[in-house]
Amino acid sequence: MLNSPIKQLVSIVQFPHPQDEPKPGISPTQQPWNTGRHCRKFLRNMGYYVLPGGECSERTSLVFWGEWEPPSKIVKSWKEEKLLPSSLHEPYWERNAPAERQNTDPWIFGDHFLYSNCKQFNPRRQSRTAKQYTPSREPSALQRLRPGSIILFGSVIGDDFVLDTVFVVKDSEHFTLRHPPRNISDAFRFCTIESLAAADDGEGCAAGADDVYTLYRGVTYDDREQYNGTYSFVPCCREDAKDFRFPRPVISLPGYINPCNKQAPLGALKFIEADEARKQWTKVQEQVNEAGRLIGVSFETPPQK
């Protein structure tokens, strides 16, 4: 485990990932396990959000943008409109899965948000002696994030960076596929860890049995006082709102977010004081609220079917 965030500098990482929703499958009511490029889904799931007074809400049905590569039930569809979701998905998972499939990372379900693998090795590069691409297995700076560091997961759409997940690092452990992380749910083990080696997707997420990765646990809302008031969250809306369909909120954070950066995570090696990170985290939270979104802090693990 890394040291206390109070005693060291931290980082703010802009983490761009693919923006697109999955292409429809054969069934209009079921989305199969994703075997292609990573996607975003507009999801419905039970969870909790922060009330105006600062306490957590009661358990309720929330809608939000996130990554869920296992199957999902399509509970509602809309005519395609720019920036808005075209389908509402109810996530679930099953062990009857394709041999080659995508893993879900970050994982926002259960006791803690988890980030485990994506972009944790430097990308493939072309050999200078042989005219072919060879995998680089050099760990990237994303394997060395300090507690209190902030990862802003989102996508670049047009000239804007749009947010789906704020991940504040609590602690970490190393793992390999041969020696998986301890104390993880069956759902996370199957949908992320065991799916990690299932396909070489060309996006830096495939793994060998002995590649060493870093599993990060996110700071929860209950942990916030130990981490300068910051915590992990997802912009969301109550499902019972009059119009719950929403675009991902645009986030502007000069010096930390580059809206022209569509692929490479930025900021892991830029170290700042924890108070400065807190100020920037607050700016993100304020922009999410100004967009009319709630601050979702806990989401139940989708069921197995």
Write the pLDDT tens digit of every residue in 81-111: 999 999 999 999 999 999 899 999 999 999 9
C-alpha 58/C-alpha 73 separation (Å) is 24
Tell me the Cα Rg of the chain: 18
Contacts of 246 (CB under 8 A, 6+ apart): 63, 84, 85, 237, 291, 292, 293
For the segment 132-166, what is each residue's pLDDT rounded down to a tens digit? 555 557 899 999 999 999 999 999 999 999 999 99
- Are 274 and 5 a contacting pair, CB within 8 Å? yes
The dihedral over CA atoms of 292, 67, 172, 270, expressed in degrees to the nearest 10, equals -60
Which amino acid type is present at position 14? Q
**CA gap 104, 129 in Å, rounded:** 35
Q: Could you say which residues of the chain have pLDDT below 70?
A: 1-7, 124-136, 199-207
pTM of the model: 0.93
Pairing between β-strand 87-91 and β-strand 72-77 as defined by DSSP bridges = antiparallel
Across-strand partners of 139?
121
Residue 6 has, within 13 A of its CA and on its CB side, a CA count of: 6
Query: Which amino acid, residue 97?
Result: A
